[in-house]
Copies of this chain bind each other. A is one copy, B any other.
């Protein structure tokens, strides 16, 4: 008794899938006719069309997508890769922002008939060569991103952020980072903050450099000293330490508002503030740039600045479809506004 037979062997000699010709033969028609019937094209009598459809249904016919794609010249497959996180290529999903951006990209794409293939952050196309991708979305590329350059060199359309503005073959959708920072800082100022401190990653991502620039300008415009803490690494540990650094200053330097433009868990940031003797919002107004849903459930709930990943994804995919299917090249980009969700953590309580 063989190993296989003892366990049951091949239970079903894997049924060779039913092809178009099989349906055609069964229905007494040609494959052309059946194809037209199923696709709703061609000139066919209603009877024949129905007969073809019925036969196909009965036989459980499912078209071979690969053959279709070969014929069509497009695979309706797009790659999704993020530029940063190159050191830990698969951790981007653990960031609420990228989790939502990724999900929303896949959702929108699928609605438009494109499937999304997940690729490791920072990986070059040589690592996933034989993958017929019609285009690749590169979320948050780093400066002069080799991923983007490699794809463009290979002739693959790239959808990424504004850093590629003007590059042929590349299209962008971006978040209005400057506007976001100004909105957040204006809000904090309105609530009485005079010594806001910014915590931001030390990253070459366009978003973060734009944040820093906007912050600098805003401080200059309001005659305030620029208080910034740069965080070397991503992750709750480093960012929370950055927050603590930002909050240690004392005396007249003691900050009265905190704007964190780095993924950090809202409850952990609150906890850090409390450890350093701050009451929120009494002593410290807090706004986080975050998509983390826990912000709603802390005490007090934390104000967040949403980068609106769903809107970004939607705009990007819309653009992608326009380019791929209608050859549209203009406009080359879209700017998506952010959204400030004001909650108790950044509202100065009436005394």
Contact = CB atoms under 8 A, between A and B. Distances in A.
Contacts of A64: 70, 132
B115 A102 contact: no
A10 interface: yes
Contacts of A103: 90-94, 118
A106 interface: yes
B106 A102 contact: no
B120 A10 contact: no
Contacts of A75: 65-66
A149 to B, nearest CB: 14
B330 A3 contact: yes
Interface stretch (A192-200, A232-240, A343-351): A232-240
Interface in A76-134: 76-77, 89-94, 96, 99-100, 102-104, 106-107, 110, 113, 115-120, 127-132
B168 A11 contact: yes
A235 to B, nearest CB: 7
A92 B67 CA distance: 32
Contact of A99 (B94, B236, B297): B94
Q: How many identical chains are in the complex?
A: 2
Contact of A237 (B89, B268, B297): B297
B293 A268 contact: no
B110 A120 contact: yes
B7 A329 contact: yes
A329 B99 contact: no
Interface string A43-81: 000000000000000001011111111100001110000
Given A7-B329, A130-B68, A329-B8, A117 B116 contact: yes
Contacts of A267: 265, 267-268, 271, 294
Interface residues on A, range: 35 or more
A90 to B, nearest CB: 4
A92 to B, nearest CB: 8
Interface in A229-259: 235-237, 240
Contacts of A62: 129, 154
Contacts of A120: 106-107, 110
A223 interface: no
A10 B297 contact: no
Interface in A1-17: 3-4, 7-8, 10-12, 14-15, 17
Nearest to A93: B99
Best-surrounded residue of A63, A68, A93 (most CB of chain B within 10 A): A93
A298 interface: yes
B119 A131 contact: no
Contacts of A113: 130
A234 B183 CA distance: 33
A154 B60 CA distance: 8
A160 to B, nearest CB: 18
A296 interface: yes
A93 B90 CA distance: 13
9 contacts: A3-B330, A4-B327, A12-B169, A90-B104, A90-B107, A110-B120, A115-B131, A237-B297, A265-B297
Q: Which 8 A-B pairs have the closest CB atoms?
A: A267-B267, A65-B132, A90-B103, A93-B99, A106-B118, A7-B330, A65-B130, A265-B294
